[in-house]
Chain A
Amino acid sequence: MNWLTQRKFLAVCLGTVLVSVGVGAQKTMQTNSAGSPTTRRTATANNAVTDTAPIKWLGSKSAPITMEFFSDFECPACRAMFLETLPHLIENYVNTGKLYFVDRYFPLQGHKYSRLATRYADAAARIGKFEPAARALFNRQETWASTANGNGDVDGVVASVLTPAEMAKVRELVRNEPGKLDADIDKDVQLGSGIEYRVMQTPTTLITYKGQTTPIIGYVSYPILKQYLDELLKR
């Protein structure tokens, strides 16, 4: 075998090995089981996740897909996902029993009013008003968020969607029991900080199906998410 032929032979061998690496990476991803140490830190065989606050989950726990949404109220991409993607997701996947949705707080330290906004949202959640409060905070993000040079008037934004009696309860919790609210928030933050894939930015969405968890970093539109979820459900 002359030198050129040897070189080609080695090149083909190397190419085969490396393409196998790529295929192997895909296979590893697809066949990872619930028992593997590289998958969920809290999931059981049916994708059950830790519930830090049942009032922030939607759908049936027996749904085949679980989606955890780590978000920050000051985050513009979180806003886009909450207002544009999640409504369709809830209508077409949560309400039809295909997906179990869990909202997770993840206020980023660099966002000045994020922790305060999260406290208000959690206080509203404790009186059963999480959704309207969260929607108001995201809808009017540009008025209060530091990321939009807002004025920090989280109280005014939440008050605009609650009754005076409800708002009084929320204010009572925020002003007199912030520790209780922070405990709720910190549970979610710790969950996001202690998993195989650490949450480093928001939004981070973790989709778990048959024991395998896929991280999605950043905003993803409903059509793209839909295609992926439909592919999962066909497996």
Chain B
Amino acid sequence: MASTVPWRLPRILLLAGRIILGLILVYAAYAKLKYPWITFAATVSAYQLLPDNAVIFVARTVPWLELVLGVWLLTGLALRWSAAAGTALLGVFFAILVHSYAKGMQIECGCFGPGGDPLTWKRLVLEVALLALGIAVTIGAFARRRAAA
């Protein structure tokens, strides 16, 4: 039966994509987890989007979520769902960065721990690339599953 998905990633590209994405998420988690939660909380707070209790909750949980998603991607198990979840997380980050950039906020991204790059258009370009990778891996995972069915 012909696939209804418009295009399919070669297997090697899908493997490379999920490993790159997984490693980036694991690294991002590590860069945050090596400091106490308050360091990331200050970064989250700088975006001025959440009340204090929510800032604390996000600061305590997001790094672990990144770690779990990154590991999950690297294992390749249930790739459709790990890729979708990872991409959704990246999508949320990207939306927040775009919103803050549009408001002209002079803050640091906080993507890979404290002391990182400021929020500039270059950072947004990198985030777009990362998000695109996530979307590609997700589509590829679903396409591969459909082809195997």
**What separation, in Å, do the CA atoms of A12 and B72 have in the docked complex?**
10
Q: Is the CB of A220 within 8 A of B26?
A: no
B119 CB to closest chain A CB, in angstroms?
Answer: 12
Q: Is the CB of B39 within 8 A of A18?
A: no
Say whether, besides A11-B77, A18-B67, A29 and B36 are in contact (CB < 8 Å): yes
**What separation, in Å, do the CA atoms of A221 and B50 have in the docked complex?**
12
Complex interface: stretch among A87-95, A137-145, A170-178, A224-232: A224-232
**What separation, in Å, do the CA atoms of A178 and B71 have in the docked complex?**
56
Q: How many residues of B contact A (CB 8 A)?
A: 34
Q: Is the CB of B71 within 8 A of A217?
A: no
Say whether, besides A217-B39, A224-B45, A21 and B55 are in contact (CB < 8 Å): no
| In the complex, per-residue mask of B39-60: 1 if CB is within 8 Å of any chain A CB, else 0 | 1011101100000100110000
| In the complex, per-residue mask of A24-44: 1 if CB is within 8 Å of any chain B CB, else 0 | 011011000000000000000
**What separation, in Å, do the CA atoms of A145 and B33 have in the docked complex?**
36
Q: Is the CB of A29 within 8 A of B56?
A: no
Complex interface: stretch among B83-91, B93-101, B107-115: B107-115
Among A7, A26, A201, point to the contact of B76 (Cβ < 8 A).
A7
Q: How many residues of A contact B (CB 8 A)?
A: 33
| Most chain B Cβ neighbours within 10 Å, of A198, A207, A217, A228 | A217
Q: What's the dominant secondary structure at chain B's contact region?
A: helix
Q: Is the CB of A220 within 8 A of B108?
A: no
Q: How many A-B pairs fall under 8 Å by CB? A: 95
| In the complex, per-residue mask of B17-36: 1 if CB is within 8 Å of any chain A CB, else 0 | 00000000010011001111
Q: What's the dominant secondary structure at chain A's contact region?
A: helix
Interface set of A (CB-CB < 8 Å, partner B):
7-8, 11-12, 14-15, 18-19, 21-22, 25-26, 28-29, 77, 197-198, 200-201, 207, 214-221, 223-225, 227-228
Interface set of B (CB-CB < 8 Å, partner A):
26, 29-30, 33-39, 41-43, 45-46, 52, 55-56, 63-64, 67-68, 70-72, 74-77, 107-108, 114-115, 118
Q: List 13 A-B contacts (CB under 8 A).
A: A8-B77, A15-B72, A197-B115, A200-B115, A201-B108, A207-B38, A215-B35, A216-B114, A217-B42, A217-B108, A218-B45, A221-B52, A228-B38
